């Protein structure tokens, strides 16, 4: 009986220590590659006032009643260059629907941004944020990053990374169907 | 005797110096608070670095926003809540121990304690067994009988 007790204690102690080491290993060395979901999804998009590159002002409130595809980009970002053509095609495909495509330049200087626009012309409006705060209001983690805002001003989806035709079709159709 | 004109100059000089000192101490206190709040936030684009440690564009933006909000009179909690509302709890360098995170905080400690208690029990039982096997047996009836029989033989 005493032997069974001793063995059981030894097994329990050994198991507990192994589990502890395993938990600590997971906590310290596991690579968490999952992108945390934006807490803004399903919530009203932060209001903003942007300046377009042709010196006009555009604010989110003036776009109420229209869905907005808000794409954050930088001139030094290679995927941003690659996705411009897909955005142009989507802008053309959805021109008869109430979707507005809007590019927002961040983490850049004006000259580089203008060079980018000249090299990769877009058919939709591009703007920049004079307050340099809008991208943080949207919880941006990098470029390119795109938000899909419905007619009521609610953020339905966020996409991090390079857009292509399929992704833009999928999320734009969800916008039109108002699906979260 | 200081004349009226000189008195005015002294007063203006003292006023300017005191304003500079007040402004400097205010700026120092704001910078100190920016640094403290920056330590409580993780830079979302840097691996394991706080906003205070990072030189990324986003970390710079965070620091600017913290400074602006402090100058607007917002409290530390309001500023942290602003970043949580944009990036979630994971933006905090010490996420609050609630929900699933509570298990992460408690489980390793619980498992370690359980392991230590089991180990102590195991060592105690083992030492008891060793003690019994070493201790001379004095009042064993069978051995006493054997001794008596041996004594008789003598």
Reading chain B (154 residues) residue by residue, the pLDDT tens digits are 567 777 777 778 777 777 776 666 666 789 999 999 999 999 999 888 999 999 999 999 999 999 999 999 999 999 999 999 999 998 999 877 666 666 767 777 888 888 888 888 888 888 887 777 666 666 677 888 888 888 888 7
Kindly determine whether residue B111 and residue A133, on different chains, have CB atoms separated by under 8 Å: no
User: Which has the closest alpha carbon to A13: B115, B109, B121?
Assistant: B115
List pLDDT tens digits, range A145-167. 999 999 999 999 999 999 999 99
Domain that holds residue B104: 98-154
Kindly determine whether residue A135 and residue B61, on different chains, have CB atoms separated by under 8 Å: yes
Give the pLDDT of residue B96.
73
List pLDDT tens digits, range A18-43. 887 887 777 666 655 555 688 999 99
**Pair B1, B61 in one domain:** yes
Main-chain dihedrals φ then ψ at residue A169, nearest 5 degrees: -60, -45
Main-chain dihedrals φ then ψ at residue B65, nearest 5 degrees: -65, -40
**Pair B91, B104 in one domain:** no
Kindly determine whether residue B125 and residue A36, on different chains, have CB atoms separated by under 8 Å: no
Kindly determine whether residue A38 and residue B112, on different chains, have CB atoms separated by under 8 Å: no
User: Which has the closest alpha carbon to A131: A27, A42, A59, A28?
Assistant: A59
Q: Which of A5, A18, A20 to mutate to test the interface with B (most CBs of B within 10 A)?
A: A20
Q: Is B87 on the interface with A (CB under 8 A)?
A: yes
Give the pLDDT of residue A41.
95
Residue identified by tokens 């899909």 is A148
CA A166 to chain centre: 16
* Residue after which a domain boundary falls, among B96, B122, B139: B96
Distance between A52 CA and the closest CA of chain B, angstroms: 21
- Are the C-beta atoms of residues B134 and A7 closer than 8 Å to each other? no
Give the pLDDT of residue B127.
83
Kindly determine whether residue A39 and residue B112, on different chains, have CB atoms separated by under 8 Å: no
Give the pLDDT of residue A51.
94
Q: Is B45 on the interface with A (CB under 8 A)?
A: yes
* Residue after which a domain boundary falls, among B96, B120, B139: B96
**Pair B81, B125 in one domain:** no
Give the pLDDT of residue B39.
96
pLDDT bin (cut points 50, 70, 90) of residue A2 is low
Mean pLDDT of chain A: 89
- Are the C-beta atoms of residues A105 and A81 closer than 8 Å to each other? no
For position B62, which CATH number holds? 1.10.8.640
Give the pLDDT of residue A157.
95
Q: Is B129 on the interface with A (CB under 8 A)?
A: yes
pLDDT surpasses 90 at A84: yes
Best CATH choice for the domain A49-177 from the list 2.40.50.140, 3.40.50.10490, 3.40.80.10, 3.40.30.10: 3.40.30.10
Q: How many structural domains does chain B have?
A: 2
Q: Which of B47, B51, B60, B112 to mutate to test the interface with A (most CBs of A within 10 A)?
A: B112
**Pair B57, B17 in one domain:** yes
């Amino acid at each position: 009986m005493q032997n069974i007790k001793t063995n059981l204690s030894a097994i329990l102690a050994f198991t507990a220590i192994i589990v502890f080491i395993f938990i600590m290993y997971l906590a310290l060395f596991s690579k968490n590659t999952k992108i945390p979901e934006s807490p803004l999804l399903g919530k009203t998009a932060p209001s903003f006032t942007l300046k377009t590159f042709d010196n006009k002002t555009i604010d989110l409130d003036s776009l109420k009643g229209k869905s907005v595809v808000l794409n954050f980009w930088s001139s030094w970002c290679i995927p941003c260059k690659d996705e411009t053509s897909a955005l142009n095609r989507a802008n053309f495909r959805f021109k008869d629907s109430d979707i507005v495509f809007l590019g927002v330049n961040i983490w850049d200087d004006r000259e580089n941004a203008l060079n980018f626009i000249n090299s990769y012309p877009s058919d939709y409006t591009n703007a920049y944020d004079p307050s340099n705060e809008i991208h943080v209001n949207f919880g941006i983690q990098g470029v390119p990053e795109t938000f899909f805002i419905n007619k009521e001003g609610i953020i339905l989806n966020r996409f991090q990374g390079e857009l292509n035709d399929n992704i833009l079709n999928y999320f734009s159709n969800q916008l039109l169907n108002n699906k979260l | 005797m200081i004349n009226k004109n000189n008195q005015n100059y002294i007063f203006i000089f003292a006023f300017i110096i005191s304003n500079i000192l007040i402004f400097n101490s205010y700026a120092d206190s704001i910078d100190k608070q920016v640094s403290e709040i920056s330590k409580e936030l993780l830079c979302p684009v840097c691996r394991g670095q706080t906003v205070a440690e990072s030189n990324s564009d986003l970390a710079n933006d965070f620091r600017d926003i913290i400074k602006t909000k402090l100058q607007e009179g917002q409290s530390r909690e309001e500023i942290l809540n602003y970043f949580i509302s944009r990036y979630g709890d994971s933006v905090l360098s010490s996420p609050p121990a609630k929900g699933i995170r509570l298990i992460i905080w408690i489980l390793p400690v619980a498992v370690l304690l359980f392991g230590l208690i089991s180990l102590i029990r195991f060592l105690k039982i083992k030492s008891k067994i060793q003690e019994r096997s070493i201790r001379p047996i004095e009042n064993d009836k069978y051995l006493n009988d054997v001794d008596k029989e041996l004594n008789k033989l003598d």
